[in-house]
Structure 1
Amino acid sequence: DEDRENDELISSTVEAGIKCEFLRHGIDIIDSPGLNENSSLDSLTLGAIDSFLPIIIYVIDSNSGVTVAVQKDLQTIQKTASGAEILYLITKMDVADHLAAEMGREVAEMEAEKADHVFSKLQRLGYISKDATRQSCRKFLCVSCWEVRRFRRKKEMIEKKMKKSKTAESGEKLMSDLVKEMENSKWVRQFEEVKRRILQFAQDQFKNLIVGAGSSLRAVHCQILTMFMDKAHDIKESNQRKKKALYQIKSLEHEIHQQSKSIVERHRGEFLAQANRFFAEKKPLILDEVRSMSYSDSVISEGMSQRDIEKKCIEEIHTLINDRIIATFSDFLRDNVLRTCFTDFDDLKEKVAEYEKDVEQTPAYQVLKKTLLEGYSLSSKAIVRGSVTCFIRNIGSTLRALLKHPDIFLGKAVQHHKWKEHQASQYLKNIDREKLVACLVSSIGEWFDKRHSDFLHSMSYSEVLVEKSYRMTDRERKEIIKLSPIVALLHMNAFAIITRYKFRNHRLDLDNCLGSGAQGRVYTVLSPTGEPVMAAKKIVTNRAGLEEIAAEAYYSSVLEHPNIVRVVGTVLLENAKHNGQWSVELYMELMHCDALTLMEQQRLSLAKRLWLGLQISKALEFLHSSQLIHRDVKLANLLVNSEATVAKLSDFGLLKGQGLVGHTLVGTPIYLSPELVRRENYGVSTDIFSLGIALWYLVEGSGQHHPDYVTNLKTVEEVLAATSERGCRPNRLPEASDQLWQLMVRCWDETPAKRPTAGQVSASLEAIIKALEAGQ
C-alpha cells in the first residue's frame, strides 16, 4: 500500500520494443487502480486519457456496481476527453453454485441479472445509448474470475505435491491435465473474447478517429466549395443584372424622350389657345398691375441720363409682363401638357434609384449617382422662361423701335400711370402669339434634346464603369472556376480515406456489370459476407480527368433528396503499371435499371411514364433551388428500383453551379437546348428544355423511336444544327393531350425566359397524372 504514495514508482515506466510500423511513435499503456488515489497518479492517468487516440477500458466490479466513486471517475474522464468512447469491462460476474442452489435459481440467470443491473445503470446515466441492448452493445463486456482463482489454487497444490513427491512423472501428469483443463475452460474462452473485443474496440476507435477527422475535413471542403459557388453565382448574376438594368434604363429614357417630344408637338393648338386666353383674360389685369407698379431701387442711379432711366423703366414693365406669361404657361404645362412627362420621369428616377441600390456596394458605382438623371429636374417655369427669353430675342428689333416712339414722355413722365400703361399696351400688342408658341414648343424640344444628350453621355460613362467592373469581377470568377476542381479533388481524397474504413472489405463484383456509359461501367458492390449492397461506377482516367470526377463525387455526395441518387463512398487508386492513370469507384445506392431500359422491358401506362417525368422535375426543382444545373437530363440518367416505385436522377458528371458554367458544349445532342448549342449564356432553363425532350420520349413509351426530324439526320452536327439553327422540335404524338402537349412545347421554347420552372412543370404533371388516373 505504501508504494501507492511513492511518486517515483508511480511515474516509472517499462519499455518494450515491438516490431510494428504502426507503433513507430510508441504507445502508452497505463493500468491505474482508478482516480482519486493521489494527485501524481491522477495526473498520469488523465494525461494519457487526453491523448491523440485514447483507448479507455474502465473496469467495474459487478458486486459493487456503478458506485458514486465510479460515476465521479466517468464524469472526470468525459470532461477530460470530450466525446471519447469507453469500453466498460464488468468483472467478478461469478455466482457460486451453492449460493444459486440455496436461492433456488440458475447460475446463468443470476449472472445475467448482475450484468443487466450494471448495464441499465450506465444506460440511465447516459453512458450507453438508450437504443442499445446488452447483447448488441460493443462497448460493454462481462467476465468472471472465479475459475482463475480455482486454477491458481490447484496449480499451487500440484507444485507442493511435486516438491514432496519423489516421482516427477506423476506431478507432470497432474500439471499436464491441469493445463488441458484450463485450455478448455470457460475462463480461457472468456480471455480470448476479451482480447477480441478490446482489439475490436481499439479498431473502432481508430476508425472513428479517421472517419471523424475525414468528415471534418470534408465539411471544410464543402464550405469552401459552397462559398466558391455562391460567390461565382453572385458575380455572374450581378454583372448580368447591372448590364440588364443599364439597358432597361437607357431604353426607358429613350422611350420617354420620344414620347415627351411627341406630347409637346401634339399640343401646339392648346398652347396657342392658352396664349389667346391669356391675352383676352389677363391683359386688363396686367395693365392695372402695371399702372400701380413701383420701380425697383436699381432703376435710377447717379449719372444716368434721362434716356437710360426711361429705358430701365420700360425693361421693368416688360419683365413684369414676362413673369405673368411665365407663370401662366408654367401652370398650364404642369397641370396639362407635361403632366404625363412628369409621371414618366418620376418612374425613370425610381428605376435609377433601384439601380443605384444594387450597385451601391461597389465604390466605383457611387459615381453613377452624380451622372444618371442629373439634369432631369423637370421645371416648367424654367422651360417657359427660356422660351420667353428666346421670343424676346426674336422681337428685339421691334422693342428697340418702341423705345424711339415720339409719344414717350420725358422726366417724371415715367412715373405716370398712363405712360406705364402705354408701354405695357405696346409691348403686349407687339407680341406675336404664334411666334411665342413656336418659341415655347421649340424651347421645350431643345430642353428635352439637351437632357437626352446629357443622359446618353452619362450613360456611356456608366457603361464603361460596368464593363470595367465586369472584367474585374469576371477575372475573380475565373479564378474560382480554376480553384474549385482542386478543392473538389481534396474533398474526394478525404472521402476516399473515410470510405476505406467505413466500407472495409467491400468489393466490386466484376462479373456483374449493371450498365455502362461514356465515363465507365457500373458494377454491384458486395459486402464482406458476399451480399449485393450497393452499386459502383468505375472510371479509369488520367490526372486531369480526376478533377471532373471529383466535382461529380462532391455534388453527388452532399446533395440529399428523395429523387437524387447519392454517392456514399469513393475509392481512389493509382495504377502502378500505367503511370498517371487512376481508377475511381463511386459507391452509390443500388437501383434496378434506368427509365429507358424499364420502358423497353415493360409496357407502362402513360400515367406511370409521366410519373417518371415528375420525379425528374422534382429532382430539378431541388437542384435549381441550389443554383445548380444538371446539364445532362435524359431518361438514361433516371434510375428506378425493381418495383418501379422509386425513381432517382443520377450522373452528376456535368453538374455545375450557375456561376461556374462557361460556354463549353456538353450533354447528349438530342436533349441540348439551342442556347447551349450556340454557346451563349445559359441558366437552369437549359435543363427544362431537356426535360421537355424527355417527356416526349416518355409519351412515345417504347424507348425505340426518335422524333421525326432526328430520324432522318445522320450526324451529331446535323442534330445540333436542327435544334439551334432551324428550330426543329419533336412532332406531336397521339397520346399527348392538349394540356400535356402545351406543357412540352413550353419546355422547349426557343426563348429560355418563356420556359416554365421545374416547380411549374411538377405542378402541371401532377394535375395531368391525376386526370389520367381518374379517367382510368
Structure 2
Amino acid sequence: MSSSSLRSIPKGDVKLPVIEDDTEIEPTDKYDGPNVNERSRSTSLYKEIIDNGVPSLKRRNNGVSRNLMDCSNHRVYRPIDLEVAYEESKIASQKRRYLSSEDPKKKYSMKGRSLGQGSVGEVFFATDFLNRKVAIKRLVVVRKGKNREPLILREIEIIASSQHPNIVAYIEAFEMKQIGEIWIVMEYMSAGSLFDIVKIYDTVKMPESHIAFCIHEVLEALAFLHQRSRIHRDVKVDNILLHSDGAVKLADFGTAVQLTFDRLRRNTLAGTPYYMAPELIKKADYKEKVDIWSVGITVYELVTGVPPYYNLEPHEALTFISHNGVEGIPTKKNSDDIINFTNKCCLVKVPDERKSAKELLEHPFIETRCPQRDFARWLESINFLYGRNMDDDSDQWACTLL
C-alpha cells in the first residue's frame, strides 16, 4: 500500500514511480508553509490551542478582512500562525489516537519474509501470538529531508475508518522512534495481487467473468469510499489484493484523500503515471471520478497484459493521456459488455461523463461475474500450475502494499 511504490511492469524491468501528494496547486497569494521564524512563533500558539482551544475569530469593522484574536488578552494572531498551529495539533491528536509506543516485536513474530518493497519502506509477513498471519508495513518517516509523518498519519486515519469487506483491514500501528519508522499492521492477503496474474499473462489469461468479479469487488470498495467523500487515487492491479478463498480487496491508501466541506475538489498530482486520469495529470480540479478512470485502466491491463502507452516512458505517457486520452480495449476477442464498460463508461476523457462506482455496479458486464468460489478455484488451479502454495509461509506470492 505506497505510497511511493515501485513495481515492475510485465515484459520488462521498467519500474513505475508512485507520485505522492507532495505539492498542492494553490493560489500564489496563499501561505505555503512556515519559515523558521514563523514556525517558532506558532509554537506558543500551538500550546495554547492544546490547553485552551482555538482562539476566537474577530472581524474588522469593514467586514472584509479579519484578525485572529485571543479575546482574553487581546493578542492578535496572523492566519498563518493559526494554520500551522492547527496542523500541529491535528498531527498530535492523530498520533495519540493511532500510534502505539509499545514494541511490536513483543506482539508479532517477524520472519524476515518480504512481501514488497518501495522507496519509502517495506512490507513483511508476520504472525501474532495466536499464530494469525498479518502483514506489517514499515514506513520511513523522513525521506530525502522531507518529514512524511503527516502523509502516513493521513493514510492510517483513512484506512482505520474505512472498514469494509472489500478493503484490506487495518489492525494497529506503532511509532518506532529509535529507527525513524512507523509500522502499520494489516490483514494478510495470501494470494498476492492482480499484478501477479498480469505477470503470467503470456500463459494465463483471466476469463471475462473473473475480471468482472474482481472489478465488482473493487467497485464495492470505491462506492463505499466515494459515499464518504474519499478518493483512493492509486487504483491499479498492484493494489488489488487476493486471498486463497477468492476474496478481492483494495489496498494501499498512501495517496488517498478526504474531501471536506471546505474543499470539495482536489488539484494535487498523485498516483501512478499510466493509471492517472487526464484531469489529474493537468492538475485541474478533480473528484472521485479519477478512481473510475483507473478502474478502466485496470480492466485494460487485465485484458491486454499491459497498461496503455506502456511502450512510452512515464512522462511521455502522461503527455499522451492528458492530450489524447486512451483509445480503450480492442474490440476483437472481447465482448460488447466489457468494451462498453471500459471504453464508454470508464475511459471517458470528460470526468462528468464517466459513470459512478454505484452506477457501474449495475452495468451488464458486472452482471456476468462469476461466484467467489469459482474465482477461488481458478486461483487454486494457477497455484497448482506453478507449484505454489498460497497458504504456506514461503516467499511465493508478492503482496504489494507500498
| TM-score (norm. length: structure 1) | 0.34
Distance (Å, rounded) in 2 between the aligned partners of 1:640 and 1:516: 18
Q: Is the 8 A contact 1:489 1:550 kept in 2?
A: no
1:570 counterpart = 2:173? yes
Q: Is the 8 A contact 1:610 1:698 kept in 2?
A: no
**2:173 counterpart letter in structure 1:** T
1:557 counterpart = 2:155? no
Residue pairs, 1:173-192, within 5 angstroms? none
Distance (Å, rounded) in 2 between the aligned partners of 1:733 and 1:634: 22
Could you tell me how far 1:741 is from its partner in structure 2? 1.0
Residues 732 and 478 of structure 1, relative CA distance in 2, 3 Å threshold: farther
Name the SS for the 2:299 alignment partner: helix
Q: Is the 8 A contact 1:699 1:733 kept in 2?
A: no
Please list every run of 5 or more consecutive structure 1 residues that lacks an aligned counterpart in the other structure.
1-464, 470-474, 577-581
Name the SS for the 2:221 alignment partner: helix
Q: Which residue of 1 aligns with 2:342?
A: 744
Residue pairs, 1:539-618, within 5 angstroms? 539-542=139-142, 544-575=147-178, 582-592=180-190, 593-600=192-199, 603-618=205-220
Could you tell me how far 1:761 is from its partner in structure 2? 1.2
Residue pairs, 1:119-518, within 5 angstroms? 483=86, 487-497=90-100, 500=102, 505-507=106-108, 509=110, 511-518=112-119
Please list every run of 5 or more consecutive structure 2 residues that lacks an aligned counterpart in the other structure.
1-62, 66-77, 375-402
Distance (Å, rounded) in 1 between the aligned partners of 2:329 and 2:207: 20
Name the SS for the 2:361 alignment partner: helix
1:640 counterpart = 2:242? yes
Distance (Å, rounded) in 2 between the aligned partners of 1:640 and 1:763: 23
Distance (Å, rounded) in 2 between the aligned partners of 1:670 and 1:588: 27
Q: Is the 8 A contact 1:573 1:583 kept in 2?
A: yes
**1:767 counterpart letter in structure 2:** E
Count of residues paired in the alignment: 286
Distance (Å, rounded) in 2 between the aligned partners of 1:480 and 1:694: 39
Q: Is the 8 A contact 2:293 2:348 kept in 1?
A: yes
**1:656 counterpart letter in structure 2:** V
1:667 counterpart = 2:271? yes
Name the SS for the 1:575 alignment partner: helix
Name the SS for the 2:110 alignment partner: strand
Q: Is the 8 A contact 1:492 1:554 kept in 2?
A: no
Q: Is the 8 A contact 1:685 1:757 kept in 2?
A: yes
1:763 counterpart = 2:365? no
Q: Is the 8 A contact 2:326 2:347 kept in 1?
A: no
Q: In percent, how many aligned pairs have the same letter?
A: 24
Q: Which has the higher contact order (CA 8 A, sep 6+)?
A: 2
Could you tell me how far 1:674 is from its partner in structure 2? 0.7
Q: Which residue of 1 aligns with 2:126?
A: 525
Residues 763 and 519 of structure 1, relative CA distance in 2, 3 Å threshold: farther
**1:528 counterpart letter in structure 2:** F
Residues 718 and 477 of structure 1, relative CA distance in 2, 3 Å threshold: farther
Q: Is the 8 A contact 2:194 2:242 kept in 1?
A: yes
Distance (Å, rounded) in 2 between the aligned partners of 1:476 and 1:692: 42
Residues 482 and 706 of structure 1, relative CA distance in 2, 3 Å threshold: farther
**1:621 counterpart letter in structure 2:** A
Name the SS for the 1:591 alignment partner: coil
CA RMSD of aligned residues (A): 3.2
**1:678 counterpart letter in structure 2:** K
Distance (Å, rounded) in 2 between the aligned partners of 1:734 and 1:477: 58
Q: 1:754 aligns with which of 347, 353, 366?
A: 353
Q: Which residue of 2 aligns with 1:718?
A: 316
| TM-score (norm. length: structure 2) | 0.64
Deviations 1:484-540 (A, max 9, x none): 57525532343223x839x672235252111223432111122236x3521111111
Q: Which residue of 1 aligns with 2:229?
A: 627
Residues 690 and 706 of structure 1, relative CA distance in 2, 3 Å threshold: closer
**2:367 counterpart letter in structure 1:** A
Greater percentage in strand: 2
Distance (Å, rounded) in 1 between the aligned partners of 2:105 and 2:241: 27
Q: Which residue of 2 aligns with 1:329?
A: none
Distance (Å, rounded) in 2 between the aligned partners of 1:566 and 1:484: 27
Distance (Å, rounded) in 1 between the aligned partners of 2:279 and 2:253: 21
